[in-house]
């Protein structure tokens, strides 16, 4: 009987983690997307940035990779919950990890724009 209770608690904690991360996925995508659009507009407006089919494909690849990396938080926490029998989780740190991960991905987008501006200057 106690094994069933333990399994139920583990499932509830994993589901709680899933709900936390999935409720914020749209916000993550919007923030990273807006940052990417700002970088793209800057590159097209102020550099000789060659926007072609490869860049278009790269935008979708960047978004796909962003979402795969976003999912790492949930997967990693689920593994910790499962193997600790529900005794450990990121519950206290989820919001901090979400904010740090989102800001880091936005920073990577800005750094990409900065590097492209170095390679394709107006001069």
The pLDDT tens digits of the residues spanning 39-65 come to: 988 888 877 777 788 888 988 999 999
| CA 28 – CA 92 distance, rounded (Å) | 19
Q: What are the helix (H) ranges across the chain?
A: 2-46, 53-83, 94-119
Range of weakest confidence among 17-21, 47-51, 74-78, 115-119: 47-51
Q: If pLDDT is split at 50, 70 and 90, which confidence band does 123 have?
A: low
- On the question of pLDDT at 1 being above 50, the answer is no
């Amino acid at each position: 009987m106690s094994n069933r209770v333990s399994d139920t608690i583990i499932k509830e904690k994993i589901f709680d983690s899933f709900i936390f991360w999935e409720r914020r996925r749209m916000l993550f995508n919007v923030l990273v997307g807006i940052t990417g659009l700002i970088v793209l507009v800057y590159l097209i407006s102020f550099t000789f940035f060659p926007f072609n089919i490869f860049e278009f494909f790269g935008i979708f690849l960047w978004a796909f990779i962003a979402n795969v990396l976003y999912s790492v938080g949930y997967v990693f926490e689920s593994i910790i919950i499962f193997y600790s029998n529900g005794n450990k989780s990121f519950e206290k740190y989820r919001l901090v990890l979400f904010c740090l991960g989102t800001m880091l991905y936005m920073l990577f987008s800005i750094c990409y724009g900065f590097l492209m501006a170095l390679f394709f200057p107006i001069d």
